[in-house]
Amino acid sequence: MVKIGSPMTSTAKKVLLCGSGELGKELAIELQRYGVEVIALDRYPNAPAMQIAHRSYVVSMLDGAKLRRIIEDEKPDLIVPEVEAIATTTLMELEREGYKVIPTAKATYLTMNREGIRRLAAEELKIPTSPYRFASDFEEFQTAIREIGIPCVVKPIMSSSGHGQSTVKCEEDILPAWKEAQEGGRAGAGKVIVEGFIRFDYEITLLTVRHSGGTSFCQPIGHYQEGGDYRESWQAQPMSDETLRKAQEIGRKITGVLGGYGLFGVELFIKGEDVIFSEVSPRPHDTGMVTMISQDLSEFALHARAILGLPIPEIIFYGPSASRAIVVEGDSNSVSFDNLQEVLAVPETQIRIFGKPEVHGHRRMAVLLSRGRSAEEARQRTLAAFNALKVEL
């Protein structure tokens, strides 16, 4: 039996979000629809989810002592990591002490860096992956590139949104790729992964939901990236029944080992009928923002239901849909969006403005969502809205 009390009372169901970006904000909204009391944490003040949470704290999620102190004070029913960089050792200790970590502290630990999840998938589960090597210093890095071969892809073992990622296409790219990976890691300089370059036909995110009734899948999401950072996604990505079956088998296998309830973003390369595992996130995925317009239950609604122990009897897909990220470049503490009347004049189109307070460099600040008679028409509609939008710094 699932029972939820009233926020800010002794009967409240309390969820603590470790990370308060745009994905955390949408999850907080969905949790509050069920009357859940939400506490939001992030490394900077006024992060998107903090703006709607019942309480918030500014803290580095890598500071295990401070994280523990907040959790012990708040005593949440659920601890929900929403970022990759987090003090996983502290979470595992808290889980052993009786706190519930979503989906599990083990899943957070394994997926926090690319080494843990890649070794699990390739070496333990024998799931097809690209060839790979890990390197802790520049000498090992050079050796790894010789063994993998050029071209290859280089990533910090812990980063997000494409930070620190690059492609080595010739010998001259090796040193810049190493420097970029060292500067772009979520926890600073450290180990990197060198991956063989796969000439895939397309790549997908398969949103996989583990819940009280079993495991469910959303329609496959195709996406386009620049420098490893998501820029567009569309649903449903056309693929054969057999290829989809293979993708779902991998999704079921990897999330089954990670365990717990919640939504997972399983990233896969598709080449012909072959399905190759790339990564998995034990939380809502940026490419999955398209589900805010494509389904009756968005990825955030699905995650909320699953972690609360509520059933998910069916996921209704409305039809071809697309999302387009609004990435703003510049240096400003004041960002505004103009010409919205033209943006929303595009048929079947919506916009979500995240409310991030500043941009220094480049930052995803909003997303456009559209439906259409086909995925291509939906993409064209987000493009028309994108071209109409004016961002002022």
Pick the catalytic residue: 84, 180, 203, 279? 279
Pick the catalytic residue: 186, 364, 371, 379? 364
For residues 67 and 62, give the distance between their C-alpha atoms in angstroms, rounded to a whole number. 8
Provide the token pair at 88.
């996983």
The DSSP 8-state label assigned to residue 123 in this structure reads I
Helices 105-112, 241-258: crossing angle, 10 deg rounding: 120
162 is catalytic: yes
Could you tell me which of 234, 240, 241, 247 has the C-alpha nearest to residue 208?
A: 247
Residue with tokens 């295990």: 64
Pick the catalytic residue: 208, 286, 299, 370? 286
115 is catalytic: no
Q: Give the list of residues 6+ apart from residue 170 with CB closer than 8 angstroms, or none.
A: 150
Q: How many residues does the chain have?
A: 393
For residues 380 and 383, give the distance between their C-alpha atoms in angstroms, rounded to a whole number. 5
274 is catalytic: no
331 is catalytic: no
370 is catalytic: no
Pick the catalytic residue: 26, 84, 180, 267? 267
Distances (CA, A) of 129 to 97, 143, 148, 186, 232: 36, 20, 13, 23, 24
SS3 label, residue 6: coil
Pick the catalytic residue: 5, 64, 116, 162? 162
Partners of 129 in beta bridges: 277
Alpha carbon 86 to chain centroid, angstroms: 14
How does strand 359-371 pair with strand 349-353? Answer: antiparallel
Partners of 352 in beta bridges: 367
68 is catalytic: no
Count of other CB atoms within 10 angstroms of residue 365? 19
Pick the catalytic residue: 88, 108, 159, 160? 160
For residues 249 and 216, give the distance between their C-alpha atoms in angstroms, rounded to a whole number. 12
287 is catalytic: yes
Burial of 226 (0-12, 13-18, 19+ CB in 10 A): exposed
* Active-site residue set: 160, 162, 267, 279, 286-287, 364
